[in-house]
Amino acid sequence: MTRRNWTYPDDWLSALTTFGVAPGPSTPPVLVRDQLNELYRFEIRRLRDKLRAGIVAKSDYVGLVVELRKKYWPLALQPADWERICGQGR
């Protein structure tokens, strides 16, 4: 089995480190994306629970969801896009 080296763009690495995710050259992009997706799902569920508990006002909820989506902007790209971008050997 051959090991492939991946090169993550600097803006991606900067975004990922804010989540505590620090992929190395041998870390497949799909694995990194899956980890980021798990963190996003955790946060969106926590926000939903705050809404249900009355901690977050319903009128504020949509704006907070949009903020989370902006925070997790790398998830807007599909796994194949991650592999294409990180596999270009920048």
Residue 89 pLDDT grade (very low, low, confident, very high; cuts 50, 70, 90): low
| Nearest partner of 39 among 66, 71, 10, judged by Cα | 71
The predicted pLDDT at position 87 comes to 87
* pLDDT > 90: percent of the chain: 90
12-40 pLDDT tens trace:
999 999 999 999 999 999 999 999 999 99
Residues in the chain: 90
pTM: 0.86
Q: What is the pLDDT of residue 90?
A: 47
C-alpha to C-alpha distance for 61 and 53, rounded to whole angstroms: 12
